[in-house]
């Protein structure tokens, strides 16, 4: 059983100010698989002070020094890939293929793109006799979720390092193991003392203290919209920058063309990835009303091909991350049935033969209307809603009829039509035929947050802009 009861502050592992522990449960077995310490405001004070001391030096580091550090982290990350995968498998119940694949790969991929972006990133810009400089914002509080733990740590820590910031990371207490291995990687790579600090804890104990702290200059938060609002409210009195990547209820507009079968099938498979626990999941599939019956048959067949709990299967998905999440998902499935949606596949309860673990049946609801609870609320489980539309104008109207705007999808063979629909979807990240690009800026409109992450787009969130007037046109920069 893993025992992680220290925090990483000022370049060393330290005991909490006051030891308070939390058992960590493996959601696949419902057994305690480890224990972590929960931090407090006093621990945050120590970590922020260390980051503040380190900022004076690291903020003045050059591009070469930062690149050297990121490359050292890259080498250590590669060396510890299997340890990272084991941690994700244990803390999330993720099947080994997913844990060792996308879960670890995304952390590595964002590091590679950060290195490439840093090589040529323009920290200075001449505008006549004015010099415009982009300087590190300061001490950053980084608060990450449990669903893609390494991905979310990566898209915050790497840009912060690349831009010369120092930081305090609070990973999710639900999935904390991979963050400990990640911190060991940072230490082994030689991150200067105080530049990177890590404290475990919950929202009230550590998250709130970080977002309120007067010496934290910026908070980057990923999680629910409800929690994101609380972070922004806590941060408001100190007028610090807050960037948020929050919830989603992303539409997937399926065009009426010859690739309809493939489009519906791909939409189901994409929805079920990571047990549906992705903020950008294509959770609302929009199909022509004239083809609703056909869509039901296709979606049912695709959902029945998703195996639950068998890590040997390439299409396997694991449990949802906790008992609380399982209870929430089950309640929303019940709500969908009560409000009259058609259960095309799955439904309430665990899959047959799985009496232990927080496993959810891959579920497809059809003939859903956009007023239903399951069409409005982020379920965060392997549950897809299929809605009908009469024409593309109505499809776009339904797609945008949501408080969220994180992602959108358009599926079909007519690229011109797909592009036209994509332009009208009010979301920060729209994929045609489930395309993926780790260099694409990622973030949302409306209540899905503000700011952008991934590659060079994420750098800007960690920078202040300084204009020096009268710098002189003939002076090199």
* Cα separations in angstroms, 50 against 57, 140, 154, 198: 12, 12, 21, 11
- 245 catalytic per annotation: yes
Backbone φ and ψ of 92, nearest 5°: -110, -10
Q: Report CA 37 to chain centroid distance, whole Å.
A: 23
Catalytic annotation on 165? no
From 25, 91, 173, 279, the catalytic residue: 279
Q: Which residues contact 333 (CB under 8 A, 6 or more apart)?
A: 346, 347, 348, 363, 374, 383
Catalytic residue (choose from 25, 208, 245, 453):
245
- Per residue, the 3-state secondary structure of the chain, as one string, reads CEEECCEEECCEEECCCCCCEEEEEECCCCEEEEEEECCCHHHHHHHHHHHHHHHHHHCCCCHHHHHHHHHHHHHHHHHCHHHHHHHHHHHHCCCHHHHHHHHHHHHHHHHHHHHHHHHHCCCEEEECCEEEEEEECCEEEEECCCCCHHHHHHHHHHHHHHCCCEEEEECCCCCCHHHHHHHHHHHHHCCCCCCEEECCCCHHHHHHHHHHCCCCCEEEEECCHHHHHHHHHHHHHHCCEEEEECCCCCEEEECCCCCHHHHHHHHHHHHHHHHHCCCCCCCEEEEEHHHHHHHHHHHHHHHHCCCECCCCCCCCECCCCCHHHHHHHHHHHHHHHHCCCEEEECCCCCCCCCCCCCCCCCEEEEEECCCCHHHHCCCCCCEEEEEEECCHHHHHHHHHCCCEECEEEEECCCHHHHHHHHHHCCCCEEEECCCCCCCCCECCEECCEECCECHHHHHHHHEEEEEECCCCCCCCC
Which residue from 302, 353, 359, 363 is spatially nearest to 333, judged by alpha carbons? 363
Q: Parallel, antiparallel, or unpaired for β 12-14 and 7-9?
A: antiparallel
Active site positions, annotated: 245, 279
């Amino acid at each position: 059983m893993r025992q992680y009861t220290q925090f990483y502050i000022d370049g060393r592992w330290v005991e909490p100010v006051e030891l308070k522990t939390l058992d960590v449960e493996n959601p696949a077995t419902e057994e305690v698989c480890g224990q972590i310490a929960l931090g407090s405001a006093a621990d945050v004070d120590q970590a922020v002070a260390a980051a503040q001391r380190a900022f004076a030096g690291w903020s003045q580091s050059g591009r070469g020094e930062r690149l050297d550090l990121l490359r050292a982290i890259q080498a250590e990350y590669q060396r510890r890939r299997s340890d990272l995968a084991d941690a994700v498998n244990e803390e999330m119940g993720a099947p080994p293929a997913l844990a060792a694949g996308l879960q670890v790969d995304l952390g590595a991929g964002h590091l590679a793109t950060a290195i490439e972006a840093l090589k040529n990133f323009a920290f200075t810009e001449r505008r006549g006799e004015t010099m415009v400089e982009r300087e590190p914002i300061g001490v950053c509080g980084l608060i990450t979720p449990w669903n893609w733990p390494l991905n979310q740590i990566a898209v915050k820590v790497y840009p912060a390092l690349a831009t010369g910031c120092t930081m305090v990371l609070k990973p999710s207490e639900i999935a904390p193991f991979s963050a400990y291995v990640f911190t060991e990687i940072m230490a082994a790579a030689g991150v200067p003392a105080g530049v990177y600090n890590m404290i475990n804890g919950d929202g009230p104990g550590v998250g709130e203290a970080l977002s309120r702290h007067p010496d934290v200059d910026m908070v980057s938060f990923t999680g629910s919209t409800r929690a994101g609002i609380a972070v922004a409210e806590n941060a408001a009195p100190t007028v610090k920058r807050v960037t948020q990547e929050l919830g989603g209820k992303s539409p997937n507009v399926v065009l009426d063309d010859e690739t309809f079968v493939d489009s519906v099938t791909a939409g189901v498979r994409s929805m079920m990835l990571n047990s549906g626990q992705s903020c950008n999941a294509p959770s609302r599939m929009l199909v022509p009303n004239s083809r609703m019956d056909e869509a039901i048959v296709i979606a049912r067949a695709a959902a029945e091909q998703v195996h639950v709990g068998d890590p040997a299967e390439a299409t396997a998905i694991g449990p949802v991350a906790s008992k609380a999440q399982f209870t929430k998902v089950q309640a929303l499935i019940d709500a969908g049935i009560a409000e009259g949606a058609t259960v095309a596949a799955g439904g309430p309860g665990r899959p047959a033969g799985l009496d232990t673990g927080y496993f959810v049946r891959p579920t497809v609801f059809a003939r859903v209307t956009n007023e239903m609870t399951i069409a409005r609320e982020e379920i965060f489980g392997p549950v897809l809603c299929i809605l009908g539309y009469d024409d593309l104008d109505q499809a776009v109207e339904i797609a945008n009829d949501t408080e969220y705007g994180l992602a959108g999808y358009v599926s079909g063979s007519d690229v011109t039509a797909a592009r036209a629909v994509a332009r009208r979807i009010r979301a920060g990240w729209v994929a045609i035929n489930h395309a993926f690009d780790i260099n694409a800026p990622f973030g949302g409109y409306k209540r899905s947050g503000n700011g952008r992450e991934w590659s060079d787009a994420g750098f800007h969130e960690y920078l202040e802009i300084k204009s020096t007037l009268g710098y002189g046109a003939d002076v090199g920069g």
